[in-house]
Amino acid sequence: MPLAFRRIEKMLRYLPLVFKNTLRNRRRSLLTICSIAASFCLLGVLFAMYQALFLADPTPGQARRLITRNRVSLTQVMPAFYKQKIQTVPGIEAAVITMWFGGQYKDEQANRNNMFARFAVEPEDFFKVQVDVQIPEDQKQAFIRERSACIVGRKLADKLGFKIGDRITLVGDIFPGNYDMTVRGIYDSSEDAETLYFQLEYLYQSMPASRRDFAGTIGILLASKDDATRVAREVDAMFANATVQTRTETEQAFLLSFTSFLGNVKMFLFAICGAVTFTILLVSANTMAMSVRERVKEVGVMKTLGFSPGSVVGIILSEAVVISIAGAALGCALAAVLVRGLAEIAGAFSYQLRTMTLTPEALMICLALGAVVGFVAAVVPAWGAARTPILDSLRYAG
C-alpha cells in the first residue's frame, strides 16, 4: 500500500512536466486534440442515439401500457369485440381501440409539415389509457360529446397554426372519402404532441355496415407495470385458437419495432463506433510516435539524470492520456450541442430519438474511453523510448 502511494505521489510530482511536454509542440497537440475531438463528438452522438433507442427508461405511463395487434401484421385489423374480451383479464384498468387513419391533409408533397399521424380513437377510453395526455376539462368534454370533433397535439398546433374551432378536412385513402372535423382541443404530452385524434365512431359511421367494428390496435392500461408479462401472455392465450390471433407487447417494444424497420440499426451503430474508435487510436498513436521520436535525445538525458525507465514510460503515457482526455472532453462538449439540434431532425425518422440527450453515463464512458485509448496508443512508443540504451539515444541524430 505505501508503495502504491509513493508511486502515485511520484506521478503527481511529474504532472507539471507532463503538461509542459504537451505544450512543447503546440500546433501538433492542438491538431491532435481537434482530430480526437471530432471522433469523440461522433461517439457522443452515437452513444446518445443508442441510449435513446435501446436503453431509455419508459415513462411511468408508458411502462403501464400494452398494445395488442393482429398477429399477422399491424396492417390487418381485429374484430372490435376483442376489446371487451381483453378487459376481462384481471389487472387491466382500461382499454382503447385505436385505428391508424392514414389519409392526406392538404398537399403533403408541397409541405412536409402536412404529414402527421392521425388516429381514430374512442374518446373516453383514450383519456383513461393515455394518462400522460393533459388537456383542459372543457376541451376534453367537447371532444367526447361531438362526433366530428378532433384534438391535436400542442407541437402540431404550433406548426400548422391550428386553433380551437378550426375546421380540418382529411381525405381518406384506406378509408375513402372526405372527413370534415372541428378542432375542439389542444393537448400536451411528454411523449408525443404531434398527432391528431378523432372519434372512432365517426369513422365507423362512414363505412358500410359490413365493414364496421374493427380495431387496428388495442391499447391497454395496467394497474401495475409488474403485470405486463402476465397480462400480455393471458391476452394472447385468449385468442390462440380464434381465427384472428393477437400479439401483445409493451408500448416500448411496439415503438422499437418501428426502429428495426429502419434496418439493422444496432449493427450499423456498432460498426461505426468501432471504426471511429479505431481512428482515434490511429491518430493518437501516430502523434505519440512522432512526439517520442523527436525526443529520443531528451529521454537519454533524463535517464542520465537518474529517471528510471518506469518513470519515463509513465511520463510519456500520461502525456498521451492528457491529450486524448482533452480531446474527449472537447468532443463531448461539441456532441452535447450537436445532439440537441439532431434530436429534432432525427426525431422525424424515429420517434424515440426526439428525447435524445448526452447522459452523464455516456459522458463518463467517453472520457474513460479517451483515457484507455490514449494509454493503449502510447504503450509501444513509450516502451521503445524507455528501452533504448542511454548511449544510443544520446547519439541519436533525430
Partner 1 sequence: MAIPLSYNVRNLIVRRTTTLMTALGIALTVAVLLSVLALVEGLRTAFQTSAHPLNILVMRKGSTAELNSNFTRAMFQDIKLKPGIARSSAGEPMASLEMVQVINLPRVDAPEGANVTIRGLPLVGTEIRPTLSMSAGRWFEPGKREVVVGKSIAERFPDAQLGRKLRFARGDWEVVGVMDGGRSAVNSEIWGDLNQMSSDYNRSEVLSAAIVRAEDPVAMQALINDLSADPKLNAVAKSEQSYFDAQTVSAAPVQFLGIFVSIIMAVGSCFAAMNTMYAAVSRRAKEIGTLRVLGFSRQSILTSFFFESLLLSLLGGLLGCLLVLPLNNITTGIGNFVTFSEISFNFSVTPVIMAMGVGFALFLGALGGLFPARNAARKEILTALREA
Binding site for partner 1 (CB under 8 A): 27-28, 31-32, 34-39, 41-42, 46, 71-76, 102, 104, 171-174, 176, 243, 253, 257, 260-264, 268, 272, 275-276, 278-279, 282-283, 285-287, 289-290, 342, 345-346, 349-350, 398
| Cβ at position 257, least distance to partner 1 in Å | 7
- Alpha-carbon span 52 to 344, nearest angstrom: 13
- Alpha-carbon span 45 to 338, nearest angstrom: 7
Question: Residue 264: left if φ>0, alpha if ψ -120 to 50, beta else—which one?
Answer: beta
Residue 11 or 290: which CB sits closer to partner 1? 290
Q: Which residues contact 243 (CB under 8 A, 6 or more apart)?
A: none
Q: Which three cell numbers stand for residue 374?
A: 490514449
190: nearest Cα among 131, 136, 139, 256: 131
- Alpha-carbon span 260 to 156, nearest angstrom: 26
| Cβ at position 104, least distance to partner 1 in Å | 6
Residue 91 or 172: which CB sits closer to partner 1? 172
- Alpha-carbon span 307 to 253, nearest angstrom: 59
The residue whose grid cell reads 398477429 is 71
Residue 37 or 168: which CB sits closer to partner 1? 37
Residue 196 or 292: which CB sits closer to partner 1? 292
| Cβ at position 48, least distance to partner 1 in Å | 13
Residue 14 or 204: which CB sits closer to partner 1? 204
| Cβ at position 379, least distance to partner 1 in Å | 15
| Cβ at position 32, least distance to partner 1 in Å | 6
| Cβ at position 8, least distance to partner 1 in Å | 32
- Alpha-carbon span 86 to 218, nearest angstrom: 9
46: nearest Cα among 272, 263, 283: 272
80: nearest Cα among 173, 182, 207: 207
| Cβ at position 218, least distance to partner 1 in Å | 17
Residue 305 or 345: which CB sits closer to partner 1? 345
Residue 189 or 287: which CB sits closer to partner 1? 287
Are the beta carbons of 99 and 120 closer than 8 angstroms? yes
The dihedral through the CA atoms of 44, 49, 54, 59 has a sign that is positive
Torsion angle of alpha carbons 335, 336, 339, 340, nearest 10°? -150
Residue 71 or 154: which CB sits closer to partner 1? 71
Residue 69 or 140: which CB sits closer to partner 1? 69
| Cβ at position 297, least distance to partner 1 in Å | 10
Which phi and psi angles does 246 have, rounded to 5°? Answer: -120, 165
Are the beta carbons of 79 and 214 closer than 8 angstroms? yes
| Cβ at position 196, least distance to partner 1 in Å | 17
Which phi and psi angles does 362 have, rounded to 5°? Answer: -60, -40
Q: Report the SS3 class of residue 285.
A: helix
